[in-house]
Amino acid sequence: MEITEDLLKRRSKHFDIACIQRLNLAGCDIRTVALLEGCTSLVELNLAKNHLLSLHGIPTLPTLKCLDCSFNTVTTLDGMSPQPQLEELHVEGNDLARVDFALLQKQLPRLRRLFLHAPAAPRSNPVCKIDKYFDVVHAAMPSLESLDGEVFALRQVHTARAVNDDPESDADLRAALAEAAWDKVSWGLPATDDPASFVQNNTKKFKGANNPPCVPDLLRSQY
């Protein structure tokens, strides 16, 4: 199926395609992209689950923030038109074996969220298997906040914890805690043959308090 003006109006429920802000063309058997240059107000575009081989036909859309081209048969992102306001791009479930991430950063200067892989996808882009995948992408695209749903800032925290984790220090701490003889601490009072004398000697600091002589009298009555 090709994109026609009638299709755009039916799917968006707008009579004027220049007023369309959100357009869902997922699962329409689309093979080539056309007529989208007239959608000058477009903010979200969903082209998932079609038969696109590339993103070449998508024009520069000045207000576009989210583009979903997942689960197509896209083999390259070369030739993609610049999207100055795009913040989120979905291309998971395609056949991307190579991506020039530095060039992609120039084409999408405000991109914050990139999806190249999804656990539930029937197939994964081969580019996701490159060595140090996350590091390579982040180095080339500093504007990114997350890749495949994983936030870079949190990933860096977890990596730092793993690097600084010292098993020997943890073992020493556990040994020190085990050696602490908490059961040897006595919270009882020392034994005495004269309870009244003991109480008097240990309550001198309370002299002047209300009726201190009553304490030894009470003890005498119990012994």
Structural domain that includes position 67: 5-153
Asked if 121 and 27 sit in the same domain, the reply is yes
Q: Which residues contact 93 (CB under 8 A, 6 or more apart)?
A: 70, 71, 72, 118, 121, 122, 123, 124, 125
Residue 61 is classified by DSSP as -
Residue 44 lies in a domain: yes
Asked if 201 and 147 sit in the same domain, the reply is no
Asked if 119 and 217 sit in the same domain, the reply is no
Asked if 143 and 211 sit in the same domain, the reply is no
Residue 196 lies in a domain: yes
pLDDT tens over the chain, length 223 residues: 889 999 999 999 999 999 999 999 999 999 999 999 999 999 999 999 999 999 988 999 999 999 999 999 999 999 899 999 999 999 999 999 999 999 999 999 999 999 999 887 778 899 999 999 999 999 999 999 999 999 988 876 656 555 555 566 556 656 655 554 444 444 455 555 666 665 566 555 555 545 555 545 545 555 5
Residue 125 is classified by DSSP as -
Nearest to 141 by CA among 96, 97, 107: 107
Asked if 223 and 117 sit in the same domain, the reply is no
Number of domains present in the structure of the chain: 2
Asked if 52 and 137 sit in the same domain, the reply is yes
Asked if 15 and 64 sit in the same domain, the reply is yes
Question: What was the pLDDT predicted at 171?
Answer: 63
Phi/psi-derived region of residue 27, left when phi > 0, alpha when psi is between -120 and 50, beta in every other case: left
pTM, rounded to two decimals: 0.70
Residue 167 lies in a domain: no
Question: What was the pLDDT predicted at 222?
Answer: 52
Asked if 90 and 138 sit in the same domain, the reply is yes
The pair phi, psi for residue 45, each rounded to 5°, is -130, 125
